Every structure is written in C-alpha cells, then in structure tokens.
Structure 1
Amino acid sequence: MLDDQLKTQLAAYLERVTQPFELVASLDDSDTAREMLQLLQTIQSLRADKISLRTDGSDARRPSFSLQRVGSSSQLRFAGLPLGHEFTSLVLALLWTGGHPPKVEQDVIEQIQALDGDYNFEVYMSLSCHNCPDVVQALSLMAILNPRIKTTVIEGGAFQEEVTRREIMAVPMVFLNGEVFASGRMTVEEIVAKLDTGAAARDAAKLSAKAPYDVLVVGGGPAGAAAAVYAARKGIRVGVAAERFGGQVNDTLAIENYISVLETDGPKFAAALEAHTRAYDVDIMNLQRADKLIPATQPGGLTEVVLANGGSLKAKTVILSTGARWRNVNVPGEAEFKNKGVAYCPHCDGPLFKGKDVAVIGGGNSGIEAAIDLAGVVRHVTVIEFAPELKADAVLVKKLHSLPNVVVHTNAQTTEITGAEGKVNGLRYKDRVSGEEHLVALEGVFVQIGLVPNTEWLKGTIELSRFGEIVVDAKGQTNVPGVLAAGDCTTVPYKQIVIAAGEGAKAALSAFDHLIRTPAAA
C-alpha cells in the first residue's frame, strides 16, 4: 500500500504523536476494504505504543474507519481510502488526534470549541481534487476539537451509488445535518464564520479599532503578497486585507513557469506566499472583502477601505490587488445547474464525469488544457469556441486534435445549457456562419472563457478601463494620489503569476516613494 520511502516519512511524522488513540475499522469484503485494512495495519505498526487498531466497527458506511482519542468523544471518520491529494489530510488527522497542535490561530481554535450546537458534516471529495484537502482538513480539525461536531470524509469513487443518489456533480461538496451546506474550496475560518453568526460583528469592531497603516494591501494573491513583503522590508506598518490568501492561484493545478521554481501546484504556491508574508511583521486579515474605497480628502491624509462586514481600515497608502475571477458564459441554465453539471475546475470535478459526455466552452489555453485533461477521464469531449479558430498554443491544439474522443466546433455561440430533474442534460449552440442551431446531449459543461477583474466595488472612485481593469501608469499609480494597483485587476497586459508578483513589488516601491515625498496632513 505504502512504499518504503512513504513509510519512512510517515513514521517520522507519527513520532509527534503524544496521546494514545485507536483506529476503528468497519469493513466489508471489497478490494477497497482489504487495501484499507493494510493501510491501517501499517499505520498502527509504526506507532504501536500510541496507536491501536480494531476491526469490529459497526458503521453502516463501509469500508470506513474512525479515529478516536482515548478519553475523548471526538467523531472523525474516513469512508473510502484517503490517498492521493488526501493522504496529507489523513496524516494531519492522525497527528491532531494524537495531540500534536494544529497550525491554526488560537482564536480560531477557541471559536471552534465554543460552537454551540450539534453538527453532523459529510464532505465528499475525489482523490484528484486539489481544492478538497483544505475543506477535509478544516472539518477534520473541527471534529477533533469539538465533541459536538461529527465529520465523515467520503471518497466519491468508492461510493458511486451514494454520489449518484445525492446528485453530487462537483467536489468538495459538504452536507450539514443532511442538507447541502457548501461546495467548493473553504478554509476553516470561512466554515466557522458561517456557523458563528455573531463573528462578523465582532470582527468588524476589531478591525475598525486598528491603527492606520503606512501601506494597506487589498488582496492576497501573488501581487498582494509581493507588495506586502517589499513594503514590510522598508520597516513600515503594513496590513493585508484578503478575501482568500493566494487568490485564484489556489485554483491552479500545475505551475511550471514561475522562474526558479521548476514545478509546483497552486495550493502549495499560495501557502508559500502566505508563509513568506508572515515571515515579516505584516498584519494579515483573512476573509475580508473590500466594499468601498474612500480616498483621502487632503494630501498626506488617510484613505479608508470599508469592508463587507461593516468594519473599516485606514492607511496612508493603499495598494489594490484584488485579482480576477472566472468569467461566466451568462446563458440560460448556467446558474441554475452550477455544481449540477456546470463546473469550472476540470481537475477537481473531472473524475465525477468518468465515462460520461461533457463539453468545454472556450478555446484558449485553459479551455484546451481542460479538454485534453478531461479526454483521459470522460467518454467524449465537445469543445465549443466562439471565434473562427482555437486561440490556444499550437502545441496544445496539436495534442487536442490527436485525441480520438474529442470534437471541436469553432464559430459556435453557446446559447443555453439544458437540464432535467435538477442536472445538466445538454448544450445548445448556434453556428455563427450558417445560423443553424444544434443541441449536444451531455452531462457536464466546463466553462473556461477567461477572467473578470474584481473591481466592481471601485466604480466611481478609481478610473477603470472598459473591461473593468484599474488603469495604472508605469509605476502602478492610479488616478487617485496614494492609491496604487497591481496584478490581474489592472490594465497591465499578460495575466501571469510572475508578472503579478513583479507589479506588486513595483507598487510597494512606488507607495514607499509616495510616503517619503508627501508631507503628513495636519
């Protein structure tokens, strides 16, 4: 089950276990159950003094196993094998159950422990999903910290009948007490905030009480992280207000073009961005969405950023790095069938469409990469491209055309995503040359048509291009003194991680230059 190298690494991690706990397996006669027993026996053998194994579990969902700390009533269960991307989640669950402290802020831990109510979470994941581990790890930790929280982690591939019955067509998918709670990537802070209804007001008051910053960065992607690091190295007071640190990088699978890093993936890169920023004296405020910008009323005065929760932050200079999000195709059926056949992440949700027919809308690099990826999993892929020809790199187009289960329609305008009984069953498109309409029968649609800058909240305050991008000059300055911008939300061409990081550094240097050249307001 585990090779010698992985066993050695796991043994080293398990040395951190300080409290005894037991693994309780509920097995059947399936191949998955036999593999699960082998995995659990290996884990137990590596720390036999602290970990015991029982195979007399009575859980109805089989094969599965629970982690139970001696003297605790924690309720954490894995149904199916947590391997692939979820092996790290299993290791962390073993360590946390065994008493190793999690790398989570103490106030978050206290907030989890104080949650008043009975919460039964079921989270469905796939082993190839790079968005799932954050959710799995968050809900696992919550079950370990609070005995009134029960979490079951379910590998969809091992429970296909269940996935079909509950109409799960995107992962991670979370149910709370039998009802849909959330889908997509979420941090532990986001989950707790959704359960703790009084958290927003408390957070707003705490934020509003903070002293003004020399530089306030709004956004925590590559541009925002670089800006924060460069500003902090000047020895000034720096804050970062981010809706999700790492931004859209979190949703990127392979990163192979960031100079000096041969290969990594989005979640690892995002974690490295945050770790680098935290290495400096930067005040990071996560889960904060900016709602309004109030420019300074006089040179050297303070600019205010009002947050969605009602709090506000003030600063002498502000760097806007709010990034961009996936563009919607905006046709009937897209919103209605989101996560019911309409998806945006082929790496996460592709395995759920194994053996089925799907479409990819978009002929750029992201669309063609998605089609190539999906072709190895699904039965058939239909690519729909509005333009007369595919816009992706030639090497990708050549690879796509070599695949036997892919068909491409160019000059094709998507007009509707159809469905029945709550899920997708087809896609309509119009031939832009002949005007003829076509209906393609399928079960999944992956939208891959580019990005929209997250700048709606700035309309009327900052100069925006006709595409909604923040207009900046060569120094990253906007039309408002003391307000700079960087990254995918700006008019700078080529939306790439390395470019965003460089623009963030430039904006920080420009902010510092503004600070030393602008007299303080009276």
Structure 2
Amino acid sequence: MLDDTLKAQLSAYLERVTQPFEIVASLNDSETSRDTLELLQTIVGLRSDKITLKTDGQDARRPSFSLQRTGSDTQLRFAGLPLGHEFTSLVLALLWTGGHPPKVEQEVIDQIKSLEGDYAFEVYMSLTCHNCPDVVQAFSLMAILNPKVRTTVIEGGAFQDEVNAREIMAVPMVYLNGQVFGSGRMTVEEIVGKLDTGAAAKEAVKLSNKEPYDILIIGGGPAGAAAAVYAARKGIRTGLAAERFGGQVNDTLAIENYISVLETDGPKFAMGLEAHARTYDVDIMNLQRAEQIIPAAQPGGLIEVKLANGGSLKGKTVILSTGARWRNVNVPGEQEYKNKGVAYCPHCDGPLFKGKRTAVIGGGNSGIEAAIDLAGIVAHVTVIEFADQLKADAVLVRKLNSLPNVTVHTNAQTSEITGAEGKVNGLRYKDRATGEEHLVPLEGVFVQIGLVPNTEWLKGTLELSRHGEIVVDARGATSVSGVFAAGDATTVPFKQIVIAAGDGAKAALAAFDHLIRSAG
C-alpha cells in the first residue's frame, strides 16, 4: 500500500508522537476494509510503542476507524480509506492525537477549546479534491482539542449510497448534527468564527484599534502577497487584510507556467505566498472582507477601509488586490441547483459524477481542461461553447477531440439548466446559427466561462471599467490619490498568476514612491 520511501517518511513523522493512543477499526470483508487494515497495521508497526490497534469496533460505517488518545474523550473517525490528497490529513491527525502541537495560532486553539455545546460533524470529501484537506484537517483538529466536538470524515467514493441518499453533489460538504453546515473550502478560523458568535464583534474592535499603516493591502492573492513582500522590505508599516489568503489560487489545481517553478498546485502555491509574506514584518489579517473605502479628506491624510464585521483599518496608502471569482452563466436553474448538479470545480466534484452524464459550459482553456479531466471519470461530457469555435490552446483541443465520450457544440447559447426533485436533469441550449432549441439530458453541469472582478464594493468611489475592473495606469495608480491596485481586479490584460505577482510588486513600489513624495 505504501512504498518504502513513503514508509520512511511516515516513520520519521511518527517519531514526533509523544502520547499513547489507540486506533479502533470497524471492518467488514470488503476490499476497502482489507486495504484499510493493511494501512493501519503499517502505521502501528512503525510506532508500536505509542500506537495500538484494535479491530473490534462497532461503528455502522465500515470500513472506518477512530483515533482515541489514552485517558481522553476525543472523538475523531475516518470512514473509508484516507489516501490521495487526504493522506496528509491522516498523518496530521495521528500527530495531533499523539500530542504533537498543531501549527495554529494560540488564539484559535483557545477559541476551539472554549466552544460550548454539542457538535457532531460529518465531513464528506473525495480523494481527488484539493479543497478538502484544509476542511478535513480543521474539523479533525477541533475534535482532538475539544471533546464536545465529534468529527467523522467520510470518503464519498466508499459510501456512494450514503452520498446519493443525501444528494451530495459537491465536496467538501459538512453536516452539523444532521443539518447542512457548509460546503466548499473553509479554514479553521472561519469555522470557529461561525460557531463562536461573539468572535466577530471582538475582532472588529481589535482591528479598529490598530495604528494606521504606511501601506495597507486589501486582498491576499499573488498580487497582494507580492505587494506585501515588496512593501515590508522597505521597512515601512505594512498590513494585509484578506477574505481568504491565496485567493482564487486556492481553487486552481495544476500550476505549470509560473517561471522557475516547474509544477505545483494551487493550495501549495497559496501556502507559499503566505509563508513568504510572514517572513517579513507584515500584519496579516485573514478572513476580513472589505465593504467600503473612504478616500483621504485632504492630501496626505489617511484612507479608511471599512470591513464587513464592523471594524475599520487605515492607511497612508492602500493597494487593492481583491482578485476575481468564477463567472456565473446566469440562466434559470443555475442558482437553484448549485451544489445539486451545478458545480464550478471539476477536480473537486468530478468524482461525485462517476458514470454519469455531464456538461461543461465554456470552451476556453479552463473549460477544455475540465472536459478532459471529467472524460476519464464520467460516462459522457458535452461541451457547450458560445463562440463559433473553441478558444482553448490547440494542444488541449487535439486531446479533447481524441476522446470517445465527448461531444462539442459550438455557436451554442446555454438557455436553462433543468432539474427535478431538487437536482439537475438536463441543459437547454440554442443553436445560434439556426435558432433551434436542444435539450441534453444529464446529471451535472460544470460552469467554466471566465472571471468577474471582486469590485462591486468600489462602485462610486473610484473609476471602474465597463467590465467592473479597477482602472489603473502604468504604475498601478487608480483615480483616487494614494490608492493603487493590482492583479485580476484591474484593467491589466491577461489574468495570470505571474502577471498579478508582478503588478503587485509594481503597485508596492509606486505606493512607496507616493509616500516619499507626499512626505517631501
């Protein structure tokens, strides 16, 4: 199951286990159970002085296993085989259960431990989902730190009947006490903030009391991170407030065109962005959504940014790097069936449509890459492209055309996503050449039609293009003095990670130049 190299790495990690605990497995005669037992026996064999294995578990989900620290009431269970992207989650759970401290701020740890109530979480994930590990690890940590939190991590592929019964069509999907708690990527800070209702008000006061920054950056994607590094290196007071550090990079699977990095994935790249920014004296304020910017009342005055939690931050200059999000197709049925057959991340949710019929709306690179990936999992893929030809790179189009279970419709306008009994059952499109309407029966629709800038909150404050992008000059300056912008939220052509990072650095240098000239 694990090769010698992986066993050696795991053995080194397990040396950090300092407190004894036991693994209690509930098994049956399935192949997955046999694989689970083999994995657990390997783990115990590498650290038998601290970890013991019992196979007499009575849990209804089989295979499953719990991690139980000796003398503790911790309640963490994995149902299915946590390999693929989730192997790291299992390793961390083993280390945390065995007493190794998590790399989480002490303030968050204290919040978790102080949660009152009865929390039974069920976290559904897939082994190919790159957004799932953060969610799995967050709820695992909560169960280990607080006995009032019970977490069961469920691999959807091993419990397909359960997934179908609950009509789960997107992962990660989280239930709390039998009711939907949330879906999609969530950090432990977000989860705790949602449970601790008084946390937002306390955080707002804390943020409002911060001293003004020389450069205040709003947004933590590649542009914001680069701006933070370049600003902090100047030795000036730098703050960065982000709704989600890493931004849309977190939702990107393969990154193969960032110069000098041959290949990486989005979550790993996002972690690198944050780690680099934290090596400098940058005040990072994550999970903060900006709602209003108030320009300085006079030249050289402070610019204020109001936050969704009621707090506010001030800066002598501000760099806006709020990025973009997936564009909606805006047809009947899209919102109604979101996460019920309508999805936006083929890497995360594709395995849930195994053997089913799906469609991809969009014929650009992201759409064709999605169709190629899905074709290896689902029964059939229909590609719907508005233009009269696919816009993806030729190499991708050739690959797509070689696949036997893909149909392409160009010059086609999606008009409706249909459904019944709460889930998708088809897609309607119009042939733009003939005007004829067509209905494609299917179970899943993946929307891949580009980006929309996160700038609605800036309307009426500074100049935006007709597409909602922040208008910037060659130095990243906006129409408001002291306010700069960078990345996918701006009018810069070609929305690429490497371009966003470069523009973030440029905006920081321009803001620093503005500070010098203003002081003079």
- Bin the TM-score by the shorter chain: over 0.9
Q: State the match for 1:431 in structure 2.
A: 431
Q: Is the 8 A contact 1:121 1:177 kept in 2?
A: yes
Q: State the match for 2:339 in structure 1.
A: 339
Q: TM-score, normalised by structure 1?
A: 0.99
> Do residues 136 (structure 1) and 133 (structure 2) align?
no
> Do residues 456 (structure 1) and 456 (structure 2) align?
yes
Q: Is the 8 A contact 1:25 1:54 kept in 2?
A: yes
CA distance, structure 2, for counterparts of residue 173 and residue 294 of structure 1? 38
Tell me which amino acid in the other structure corresponds to 2:392: A
User: Any unmatched runs of 5+ in structure 2?
Assistant: none
What secondary structure sits across from 1:518 in the alignment?
Answer: helix
Q: State the match for 2:206 in structure 1.
A: 206
Q: State the match for 1:322 in structure 2.
A: 322
Q: State the match for 1:43 in structure 2.
A: 43
* CA deviation vs aligned residue, 1:355-391 (integer Å, no higher than 9, x gap): 1100000011100110011011101000001111111
Superposed, 1:344-383 pairs within 5 Å as 344-383=344-383
Q: State the match for 2:169 in structure 1.
A: 169
What secondary structure sits across from 1:191 in the alignment?
Answer: helix
CA distance, structure 2, for counterparts of residue 239 and residue 367 of structure 1? 36
Q: State the match for 1:403 in structure 2.
A: 403
* CA deviation vs aligned residue, 1:98-131 (integer Å, no higher than 9, x gap): 0000010000000011111000000000000000
Q: State the match for 1:283 in structure 2.
A: 283
How high is the sequence identity, in percent, across the aligned residues?
83
Superposed, 1:85-484 pairs within 5 Å as 85-484=85-484
Tell me which amino acid in the other structure corresponds to 2:377: V
Cα offset, 1:49, TM superposition: 0.8
Q: CA RMSD in A?
A: 0.6
Q: State the match for 1:73 in structure 2.
A: 73
What secondary structure sits across from 2:227 in the alignment?
Answer: helix
Q: Is the 8 A contact 1:25 1:66 kept in 2?
A: yes
User: Any unmatched runs of 5+ in structure 1?
Assistant: none
CA distance, structure 2, for counterparts of residue 74 and residue 358 of structure 1? 41
Of residues 242-251 and 396-405 in structure 1, the stretch that sits farther from structure 2 once superposed is 396-405
Cα offset, 1:452, TM superposition: 0.2
* CA deviation vs aligned residue, 1:333-366 (integer Å, no higher than 9, x gap): 0000000000000000001111110000001110
Cα offset, 1:398, TM superposition: 1.2
Tell me which amino acid in the other structure corresponds to 2:207: L
CA distance, structure 2, for counterparts of residue 96 and residue 239 of structure 1? 31
Q: State the match for 2:501 in structure 1.
A: 501
CA distance, structure 2, for counterparts of residue 507 and residue 18 of structure 1? 48
CA distance, structure 2, for counterparts of residue 346 and residue 69 of structure 1? 37
Q: TM-score, normalised by structure 2?
A: 1.00
Q: State the match for 1:16 in structure 2.
A: 16
CA distance, structure 2, for counterparts of residue 87 and residue 467 of structure 1? 42
CA distance, structure 2, for counterparts of residue 311 and residue 382 of structure 1? 47
Tell me which amino acid in the other structure corresponds to 1:172: P
* CA deviation vs aligned residue, 1:287-324 (integer Å, no higher than 9, x gap): 00000000001111100000001100000000000000
CA distance, structure 1, for counterparts of residue 26 and residue 84 of structure 2? 21
CA distance, structure 2, for counterparts of residue 23 and residue 101 of structure 1? 19
User: Runs (4+) of structure 1 moved beyond 2 Å?
Assistant: none
* CA deviation vs aligned residue, 1:408-442 (integer Å, no higher than 9, x gap): 11111111000011100000001111111010000
CA distance, structure 1, for counterparts of residue 218 and residue 382 of structure 2? 39
CA distance, structure 1, for counterparts of residue 395 and residue 6 of structure 2? 36
Cα offset, 1:399, TM superposition: 1.0
Of residues 54-63 and 247-256 in structure 1, the stretch that sits farther from structure 2 once superposed is 54-63
* CA deviation vs aligned residue, 1:2-27 (integer Å, no higher than 9, x gap): 11000000000001111110000011
CA distance, structure 2, for counterparts of residue 411 and residue 42 of structure 1? 55
CA distance, structure 2, for counterparts of residue 476 and residue 448 of structure 1? 29
CA distance, structure 2, for counterparts of residue 197 and residue 24 of structure 1? 35
* CA deviation vs aligned residue, 1:118-157 (integer Å, no higher than 9, x gap): 0000000000000000000000000000000000000001
Cα offset, 1:75, TM superposition: 0.3
Cα offset, 1:519, TM superposition: 2.9
What secondary structure sits across from 1:174 in the alignment?
Answer: strand
* CA deviation vs aligned residue, 1:442-496 (integer Å, no higher than 9, x gap): 0000000000000000000010000000000000000111100000000000000
CA distance, structure 2, for counterparts of residue 497 and residue 312 of structure 1? 29
CA distance, structure 1, for counterparts of residue 62 and residue 36 of structure 2? 11
CA distance, structure 2, for counterparts of residue 138 and residue 8 of structure 1? 26
Q: Is the 8 A contact 1:384 1:408 kept in 2?
A: yes
* CA deviation vs aligned residue, 1:7-57 (integer Å, no higher than 9, x gap): 000000001111110000011111111111111011001111110111111
Cα offset, 1:395, TM superposition: 1.1
What secondary structure sits across from 2:519 in the alignment?
Answer: coil
Tell me which amino acid in the other structure corresponds to 1:184: G
Q: Is the 8 A contact 1:299 1:519 kept in 2?
A: no
